[in-house]
A and B are shown apart, each in its own frame.
Chain A
Amino acid sequence: MAKGKFLRGASRRSILQQFGAAAVGISFAGGLAACNRQGGGRTVNFYNWDTYIGPTTLADFEAATGAAVEMSLFANNDELFARLRAGNPGFDVIVPSNEFVTRMSQAQMIVPLDRARIPNFANLLAEFQDAAFDPGRQYSMPYTWLTLGIAYRKDKMRGGAVPNSWRYIFDSPQYSGRIALLSESADLMRLCAKYKGHSVNNIPETLLSEIEQMLIRQKPHIKAFHEDDGQDLLASGEVDIVLEYNGDIAQLMAAEGGDAFDFVVPQEGTLINSDCLCIPTGAPNPDDAHAFINYLLDAEAGQKITEEIQYPTPNAAVRDRMPDSYKNNPVIFPPADVMAKSEYGAFEGDERSRLYEEIFTRINAA
């Protein structure tokens, strides 16, 4: 593994989340952070995840096109959505995940992209040139993809076994008190459905109540529902086995002492997510926004980004330029057989997210 080349420090979903969470109230205030410097040259207001860009990408773009990029950060899709809910406060390019691409396109919060202005679309792997969550790639361009899986401390696994089933964290007292799950209702319901042999989508009511019972039964063995800081809980020895995104664990494993940990996508398959580049409705500068999206899909620019963030790339031209230590890293690119069993979670309407949330509230209160 190319240690040291990996991202240092916090993950894209990190401490910012807590600040952001505390700030949901002020999201009304709108475009404060995104105040665009009109009159002072062309600007692209880019609303991105934390630590999710190359070190020189923004400056390189300005040098190439003359348009400056102002980047603001969000911590999760809910924050992004809440921020744009009452109208676009001035962003030109945003990075929602797959489900939110559907949700925001349905709510007409993002606009169709002009493919003619994004010739680097040709760089994308064939399987990313179309997407079920955005048929025909009308609204979004893929930026990265990522999967959920089980991260664990190797020497605490009984008999050195690899916890390659969701059973270990959802339905077994084996690691009682040493388990942390992600505090995301929809992800939990979907992965539990996957464990029960169902698709992550269209989960029937009966299965949902079965899942609720299972998680309530499992609750005494779970130490915490974490706010996407599972890698920290694992690293500090607070828990031994945790539900997390592969990118976060790839970073942990690349850090000093990272040999103690490993990551596995359970045999039942998992949830795939993809973060996508979109232009929100009412973007002040759609021309440069298209140019910027095209630039991010460029082979060289994409390589610099991927070298920094170490997330799986949907870009064939970028992947070809990356070293084997990236291409063959099983944490970044899980084995083909489990990926074949994995799915994207579809946006199934707001009622569905509310139902998942209520079930999660019940599990918490039980």
Chain B
Amino acid sequence: MEQTWRQAKAAFAAVAIPPVAWLLLFFLIPMAVIWAYSFGENTGPVTIDLTGTFANYMRALEPLYLGIFGKSLVVAGVTTLLCLIVGFPVALAIAFASPRTKAWLLLLIMLPFWTNLLIRTYALIAVLRENGYVNFTLEWFWNNASGLMTMVGLQPLGDFTPATLLYNNFAVVLGLVYVHLPFMVLPLYSALDRMDRSVMEASLDLGAGHWRTMLLVVVPLAAPGIASGILITFIPALGAYLTPDLLGGTDSQMIANVIERQFKKANDWPFGAALSFLLMYLTFFAIAAQAMVQKRAERRG
């Protein structure tokens, strides 16, 4: 007979106390401290009085900062959408690959995780900059095309001007997609892999084309996977800090960059804490939305 935890309190406690203590000590208490700071006032370079003021939140809700929040939401949203568009076919291909290939493909997806984010970002800089590999390749094609045109008696193309691929919003989104793609592919893969294949076969047998089967059968069945993929891509993308810092131009600042500057250069922890918690509330909102999608999918299933 199965034991409930009430009957094995000691065993349950032994298992549960370490993670609960860990969560309390290293997550909830520090978070509570930062949360308390968000209602504080600076009284000196290193002193904060917890006065219960809402001034930090009022300031965080000024149009300037709301605009940056909005911009971060857009960037994270575009990133997530691109990850979904790129990641879905990849996840589908992995799910339908032979077991041997599947292992290799999954390894390829996870390989970047084994490299430090900073190093990957610097590698991307080496690829995208004006004297980078993309521009070298473009230049090679350009010069060959130019040579070809002279050969057939046309005017040559003129000098190659390198494309500006770095230090703009394009580079930020590209970098974010590059970094977050595995977060999208893995949950999609696990949802697609678990799916009952006979449903798809039935759909195809009963006359639906591949597109209709995909849109009306596969996508709805994979909805919980899509929702969790969107969530775990969107949340870190929303808080992205390093990528806009290194790849962005003069108008690529995201909210995490502003938060970082409050904690460091501005030495304004209360305001930084208020901005952080607004970001966190946005995250909670996203998680609640995902839970709703999940619940609806379960009810349907």
Contact = CB atoms under 8 A, between A and B. Distances in A.
Interface of A: 15, 18-19, 21-22, 24, 28, 78-79, 81-82, 85-86, 103-104, 106-107, 109, 177, 184-186, 219, 222-225, 227, 236-238, 350, 353-354, 357-358, 360-366
5 contacts: A24-B264, A103-B45, A237-B129, A237-B131, A361-B64
Contact of B164 (A22, A177, A236): A177
B213 interface: no
Contacts of A104: 45
Interface string B38-52: 000010111000000
| Main SS class of interface, A | helix
A365 B251 contact: yes
A22 B242 contact: yes
Q: In which size bucket is the chain B interface?
A: 35 or more
Contacts of A225: 250
A236 to B, nearest CB: 6
Contacts of B68: 361, 365
Contacts of B268: 350, 354, 357
B46 A357 contact: no
B266 interface: yes
Nearest to B132: A236
A257 B155 CA distance: 35
Contacts of A15: 118, 122
A237 B71 CA distance: 30
Given A21-B245, A81-B267, A357 B262 contact: yes
B242 A18 contact: yes
A103 B266 CA distance: 13
B263 A238 contact: no
B140 to A, nearest CB: 17
Contacts of A86: 46
Nearest to A221: B250
B250 A219 contact: yes
B260 A24 contact: yes
B130 A238 contact: yes
B34 to A, nearest CB: 10
Nearest to B263: A24
Given A28-B30, A78-B265, A364-B250, A236 B129 contact: yes
Given A103-B45, A107-B46, A362-B64, A350 B267 contact: yes
Contacts of B251: 219, 364-366
A350 B42 contact: yes
| Main SS class of interface, B | loop
Given A19-B118, A364-B250, A78 B129 contact: no
Nearest to A109: B46
A219 B167 CA distance: 13
B88 to A, nearest CB: 31
B246 A357 contact: no
Given A238-B129, A353-B266, A107 B44 contact: yes
Question: Which 6 pairs from chain A and chain B are nearest by CB?
Answer: A78-B264, A357-B266, A107-B45, A364-B253, A224-B167, A354-B266
Given A227-B246, A361-B253, A365-B64, 15 more contacts: A15-B118, A18-B118, A19-B118, A24-B263, A78-B264, A82-B263, A107-B46, A219-B250, A237-B131, A354-B271, A357-B268, A358-B64, A360-B261, A362-B64, A364-B253
B89 interface: no
Nearest to A107: B45
Interface in B113-134: 118, 122, 129-131
A106 B260 CA distance: 24
Given A238-B129, A361-B261, A224 B46 contact: no
A222 B249 CA distance: 8
A259 to B, nearest CB: 18
Contact of B166 (A238, A350, A360): A238
Nearest to A364: B253
Nearest to B268: A354
B258 interface: yes
A302 to B, nearest CB: 31
A364 B172 CA distance: 15
A365 to B, nearest CB: 6
B45 to A, nearest CB: 4
B112 interface: no
Contact of B265 (A18, A224, A353): A353
Given A18-B242, A237-B130, A365 B253 contact: yes
Counting chain A CB atoms within 10 Å of each CB, the highest count among B166, B262, B266 belongs to B266
A103 B267 CA distance: 11
Contacts of A237: 129-131
Contacts of B248: 224
Nearest to B259: A24
B45 A224 contact: no
